[in-house]
Amino acid sequence: MGDNVILVGFMGAGKSSVGRLLARRLGRCFVETDDMITAQEGRSIPDIFAARGEAHFRALEEETVRLLALKSGDVIATGGGLPCREGRPELLRAMGTVVWLRGEFDAVYERAQRAGARPMLAGRGRDEIEALYRAREPYYRQADLTVDTTDINPDQVVSKLLLLLRDRNAATLSPLGKPGSLSPLGRGQGEG
């Protein structure tokens, strides 16, 4: 369905914290693709990587993308690699408003290392991770909206994002004043 808000961006961009806050402000459900995978597999993301490897994890992401198509009105945080496949950005945009939480590499790298167990960082040096970041940028860049998170906290990111979503919502109003199909705030739910 077309009215989700879908957060994309590199590890450490703040998708989980921003997504949780945004969902609360909008009175919507918050979903994380990594949680969907963890629940389905009955084990953590690091355990999935350790037991079955990255290729298996990417296949699970593929399946998750199919399940996302059933969602409507949710705030969805995607894993950092999920949008980075041929055709994915288009597929995600068909499901809602895609938002890139962008950050300068040094800032997101530092955050990614600090929080959470991330198998994609394990055994890779800074240069290798930066190459991955650069290779993924063209996919993230295809988002509908971009918020730079480099020097601001999740609360500030959410405030900026709410303004952008509101502008976009206004731009998609039909002549009758009804929210357009792409409207991310078009379900009469206030910010609380």
Binding site for ligand S3P (CB under 6 A): 11, 15, 34, 45, 79-81, 118-120
Nearest-CB residue to ligand S3P? 79
Residue closer to ligand S3P (CB basis): 37 or 158: 37
Dist. CA 121–CA 80, nearest whole Å: 12
Tell me the three state secondary structure of residue 101.
strand
Residue closer to ligand S3P (CB basis): 21 or 185: 21
Dist. CA 182–CA 169, nearest whole Å: 8
Least Å distance, CB 86 to ligand S3P, is: 16
Least Å distance, CB 90 to ligand S3P, is: 20
Dist. CA 82–CA 73, nearest whole Å: 20
Dist. CA 51–CA 18, nearest whole Å: 30
Output the CA torsion sign for 116, 120, 123, 129: negative
Residue closer to ligand S3P (CB basis): 81 or 89: 81
Least Å distance, CB 163 to ligand S3P, is: 24
Least Å distance, CB 113 to ligand S3P, is: 11
Residue closer to ligand S3P (CB basis): 8 or 158: 8
The one-letter code for the residue type at 4 is: N
